Amino acid sequence: MKTPVSQNLNRNLISAFSIFWVLLVLIAYFGFHPYYFTSLLMMPNADLFAANTVIAAGAWAWWVFSGKSGRTRKVNGLQVYGLFLIFQVVTILIFNNRYSIFNDPGGLWRFMGMNVLVHGCLFLLYTLAYVAGQPVMALLANRYSKGTASLLRVATGTSFIGLGAFLLGAFHQLNTIVAGIIALGVLGWRYRESWNLWQRTLLKQQVYKYKNRWLQLPVFFLLSTLAVNGIAAIKPFPTGFDGAALYMNTTQLIVEYNGLTEGGQAYFWQLLLSLGEVLFGKAVFSIGIAHFSFLLVLLAAFRLARLLLNRSWSWLAVWLVALNPSLSFHYLYDEKVDLGFTFITLAAALMLIEFWTRAARPDAQDESPVKLPFGLSATQWMLLLTGWLLGFAFGIKYTGLLSIVAIFTVIGYRFGNYWLAMSLVTGFSGVLFLFGGNNFGYFPFGETAPYVVGLIGIGAAVALLVPAWMKGVNLKSLLMAYLLSGGAALLCFAPWGIRNMAANGEVGVQALLEAPFPTPVIKVQAQAIEVDYPERLMENIKKRTAGLDIQLSDVQLEQISNYLEQEEITAADKLNRGKLLRFVTDQVLLPEQREKAMAFDLREEGLGNIRPEIAETTEETKDDLLFSAGALAKREEIQRYLGYESGLPLYASLPYDLTMNTNILKSQYIDIGILFLVLFPILLFSGGKKSLAPNLVLSVLSILLFMLGVWTVDHQEGLAVVKEQLLGSPPPAYENFVTGIWASLNDTVLLAARPLAPLFEAASGMAFSGVFATLLLLGGITGWLLKARWGGSTEKARYLLLFTVAFGALWLLIGSGISWYGFPMLVTLMIFLVYGAQSIGFEYRSVRSWAVGATLAVYILMSYALVFISALQPPKNAGLIYQEPVLRSFGEGLSASKTLSSFKPYLGEAIDYINQNKEDKVYRVGTFFNYHIDYNDRRVLEDNQLGKYDEIMRALDGAEDAFIDLLKAEGFRYILFDMNTASLDRTPEKTLTEKTRRFSQMLFTSPKVRLIFTDNVVKGEPGETVPLGKHRISGRAGIRGETVYRGSYLLFEIN
């Protein structure tokens, strides 16, 4: 039978797009991520890579070739842990041999002893969570597989422990004696379950069957990945910025106070983290909980994957998650709560989906093997527990709101249909904007009132309810499900709500969510200066052009003023910088003026583009006056992840920006990898008879969004500027790649996008109401494409897909482009990508199969190679995957002060100096030292974006160092300043750079302060050296003179 023309066209379209798309994304991605050239070409730890590969491959070969394919094998937990330790011991031996970390061999084994001790103590806490959750999950024992039931016991038990820690903390009884007695009591009470868990997990031989030998490889390389990264998780104090400044700092304060700290949002997970130090006496155990929560995430990912995939494919999905650069960064470096939040969210999704897909339909018998409390059915009990976990997730992090909506979307689909599910997501986004969306994210509303955007969302939701109702909704069951799960979520969060409202002394949404901090305050409140935006913009244009020796005539200034009026540029978010620059350059400037402008790269760099280094900032800008001080600081801190585009491109370019990391360059912690952008469109292609139309729409939309991503980078900052930043300290071959094929690709894309420039510019000028409406339209198109591809898939797949889409859509809208806010979605999307890859199978004649396989292979190779370098270090030091002071602190028993000074010269002494009087206040700008300052919640005023400084300086009328007088009057004795503050500035106006310049100039010139400690080393007299751990740096500590070792902190004392 002859194949229809449409099917041939469809097959050719899929093949052509697959090849084109893989090459396009890979070239672009490698250009934005130079550290892969370090890991793949330099390979500074080639011996580590080779040793781990040999061990993993050897263990795999023994496993699959010592018996016949399909043969039953048996293994217990101790054997698996033994292999894990072999990877770690070999890794640390080779690393120590290369870098000579320990002075004697005993140091290495003392470190490994602490490593094993941490693992053992964490397993005890795992046991405690398991037995705490066992009673409530036993009521649903027959509705889950054994592995899922065990994991859900741990999740629910963790929530009960968190609540118990809250209650103890409320009365300041969270100490070693009380917590230890309760923990031992629970373990003793449930000793049979504890012993059964230990036997089953560690000693009992588990039966393992496999068919495909090659699909066993991921298991062994997963162990290698976790073992190598796991060594970095053992440390005496937090080394990540957010961990030391916020999350582990709260944990440390809980330990100091033996209870809850004052102020802030809910922090269930920090209470759990504190149990490590409370029960076992050292911070390393608390830090271990933070990092090794990653293993719980992987276990949850495996159980979710098993809903769709066989065991071997599920382990592949888990390994891909473990290799993800952004996710793994939280395992090995930064001590946040996002891994804990992700685990609880995935557990809630697992509880709901597996119950419904293993149980009968809603209208069938719904009974439990045991009598449930209050006469509840099994479904009702499950909904209560699911809601309880959602409330606990919300009590960990307020992005738990996304988890609640995603789960409610699945429930809506269960008792309704696709239309109802779409209505729920749309309606929630509308309600969010209607009732204070700015509390949950940064939104450039401009002159659009938030309620207008809210009404658009609610209106769209109501419109979607019409087809939903026509297709049938089980309203009674739906409302009951929402009542049970929502009520349980509120009940779990209630302790925090009561505590917060009591602290605020009032009732309200904000009072419910956050309690006031006891942080030191500066009583002078400044009033924001009223500034006419067009007038200020005109002043800035005159200043910038004058700096280029271009004198604008009155006629030219009137042209620009008329343009601003015609384009209705009345606020910062209405300014399309690229469009304004082209107008000025092409239509206002005279030919000779235009030559000067182009010579100074006016078009590419943009007005106000100042390099981030303080020393190179030579001119003053007043662009920061276009915002209030508070709004400016928020814009500098949060929007740098989202980007500073205007209009629709701010959101439409996110898939490109999040993959390429265009907003924050060369940063592993926000690198989500290539798989999502490459595979999602390819796997979304349909192969049915009527699939040509959706496939064409998908192809055009994908390419259009990619072109928009490149166009926005070029028009926002300039690809030439970005290329210059990327080429700082380039690894081998990278410069040739960037200046060659990568630059050519971008030029080609920009050339192809030139006819679409008017469309992109129109989108950039779109009001936020239009942006939101367009995003709803794009969401509808995506839903149509997903339904066309996977609408007929299994019920399990549809539930998981709905959770992923609902969470992902809201994350893209309100997540400010911050990758770790979307971890639950990234995990489930990875599972779904593997499910999609498995479903299309592998055919030698299928170009799509080869494209998918090649992409997976490239991702695995580059991500596994990344495990063996430090992306935080320049190429010459990239082999230092472990921090020498951390290893030596355990191996050689270094004190906390000596360990700190091994990180940065004189840091330990500086911290001791600050802590000599617990009443002295500290004004802190940046640095990760908060954790080390005793009782810092009452002593330290944090001002990372210099927002408070800016606010006060706007109100003070006098000398610049009048700010120091004000600090002194308020009882501040120290100013702790991060010298790299300006490097965080991604704003087009470079406002943070300018504030940093003014602030640092004040510190360097004022006689009212004196520098007492810094790690900056300048050229000194012959023989002068500065100690750094086992090493010494030639020179002296200071800021005046030729820098020989660039430091990071300055500690000033107010005279």
Q: CB burial class (10 A; 0-12, 13-18, 19+) of residue 685? A: buried
Q: Which residues contact 235 (CB under 8 A, 6 or more apart)?
A: 284, 287, 883, 886, 889
- Give the pLDDT confidence score for residue 18 in this predicted structure: 94
Distinct helix (H) and strand (E) counts, the chain: 47, 12
Tell me what the mean pLDDT of segment 713-733 comes to.
Answer: 89
Q: How far is CA 848 from the centre of its chain?
A: 31
Note the pLDDT tens digit of each residue in 990-1044. Answer: 888 888 988 998 898 889 999 999 999 999 989 899 999 888 999 999 988 899 9
Q: What pLDDT score does 609 carry?
A: 27
Which segment of 355-369, 871-885, 900-914, 915-929 scores lowest on mean pLDDT? 355-369
In 158-308 the beta strands, taken as DSSP E runs, fall at 206-208
Spatial separation of the C-alpha atoms in residues 753 and 578, rounded to whole Å: 15
Average of per-residue pLDDT across 202-218: 88
| CA-to-CA separations, 913 to 519, 591, 978, 1006, in angstroms, rounded | 20, 61, 17, 22
Model confidence band, residue 656 (pLDDT cutoffs 50, 70, 90) = very high
Distance CA 1000, CA 978 (A): 10
Greater pLDDT, 912 or 9: 912
How much is the pLDDT for 450? Answer: 83
Instruction: Supply the pTM of this predicted model.
Output: 0.89
Distances (CA, A) of 733 to 37, 577, 898: 7, 34, 39
Backbone phi, then psi, for 54, in 5-degree steps? -65, -45
Whether the per-residue pLDDT at 633 is higher than 60: the answer is: no
Residue 606 pLDDT: 31
Q: By the 8 A CB rule, do 878 and 887 touch? A: no
Does 343 have pLDDT greater than 80? yes
Question: How do residues 584-632 score in pLDDT, each as one tens digit?
Answer: 877 888 877 876 665 444 333 333 322 233 333 333 333 333 344 555 5
Share of the chain above pLDDT 70, in %: 90
Ranking 43-52, 324-333, 360-369, 426-435 by mean pLDDT, the lowest is 360-369
Residues 6 or more apart from 879 whose CB is under 8 A from it? 44, 45, 98, 99, 869, 870
User: How close are the terminal C-alpha atoms of the chain, in Å?
Assistant: 92
Q: What is the pLDDT of residue 1040?
A: 87
Is a pLDDT exceeding 70 seen at residue 880? Answer: yes
* Model confidence band, residue 573 (pLDDT cutoffs 50, 70, 90): low
Q: Does position 981 have pLDDT exceeding 60, yes or no? A: yes
Structure confidence by residue, pLDDT tens digits, 354-406:
999 985 444 445 665 567 777 788 999 999 999 999 999 999 999 999 999 99
- Specify the higher pLDDT residue, 539 or 414: 414
Return the top range by mean pLDDT from 11-15, 282-286, 987-991: 282-286
352 and 411 in contact (C-beta within 8 Å)?
yes
Q: Taking all residues of the chain, what is their mean pLDDT, rounded to a whole number?
A: 88
Q: How confident is the model at residue 867, as a pLDDT?
A: 97
| Mean pLDDT, residues 412-424 taken together | 94
C-alpha to C-alpha distance for 347 and 390, rounded to whole angstroms: 9
Cβ-based burial of 478 (10 A; exposed 0-12, middle 13-18, buried ≥19)? middle
Residue 165 reports pLDDT greater than 80: yes
Cα gap 92→330, rounded to integer Å: 21
Q: What does the alpha-carbon distance between residue 633 and residue 647 come to, in Å, rounded to a whole number?
A: 21
Q: Which residue bears the tokens 């993800």?
A: 324
Whole-number Å distance between alpha carbons of 322 and 340: 15
Average pLDDT of the segment spanning 955-965:
75
The Cα–Cα gap between 104 and 893 comes to 12
Contact, 495 vs 512, CB < 8 A? no
For the segment 785-805, what is each residue's pLDDT rounded down to a tens digit? 888 888 778 999 999 999 999
User: What does the domain layout of the chain look like in residue ranges?
Assistant: 895-1054
Q: Given pLDDT bands bounded at 50, 70 and 90, which one contains residue 142?
A: confident
Q: What is the pLDDT of residues 512-537, one digit of tens each?
A: 999 999 988 887 644 444 446 677 67
As a whole number of angstroms, the distance between CA 654 and CA 641 comes to 10
Confidence at residue 559, expressed as pLDDT on a 0 to 100 scale: 87
Which structure tokens are listed for 466? 């019409």
With a CB cutoff of 8 Å and minimum separation 6, the contacts of 957 are none
Residue 134 has pLDDT above 60, yes or no: yes
pLDDT at 842: 74
Which pLDDT does position 368 carry in this prediction?
Answer: 58
Closest among 283, 261, 264 to 273, alpha carbons compared: 283
pLDDT value at position 845?
79
pLDDT at position 578: 62
Amino acid at 927: T
Q: What is the DSSP string of 347-399?
A: HHHHHHHHHHHHS--TTS----SSPPGGG--HHHHHHHHHHHHHHHHHHH-TT
Instruction: Please check the confidence at residue 547 and state whether its pLDDT lies above 80.
Output: no
- Report the distance separating Cα 109 and Cα 89, nearest Å: 9
Give me the percent of the chain exceeding a pLDDT of 90: 64
Say which residues have a Cβ less than 8 Å from residue 307's Cβ, sequence separation at least 6.
353, 354, 357, 796, 797, 800
What average pLDDT score do residues 321-345 get? 96
pLDDT value for 56: 98
The per-residue DSSP string of 494-550 comes to HHHHHHHHHHHTS-SHHHHH-BPP--------PPPPP--HHHHHHHHHHHHHHHTT-
What is residue 527's predicted lDDT score, i.e. its pLDDT? 42
- Note whether 248 and 287 are within 8 A (CB): yes
Cβ of 104: how many Cβ atoms within 10 Å?
Answer: 10
Identity at 531, one-letter amino acid code: V
pLDDT grade for 296, boundaries at 50, 70 and 90:
very high
Whole-number pLDDT of residue 536: 67
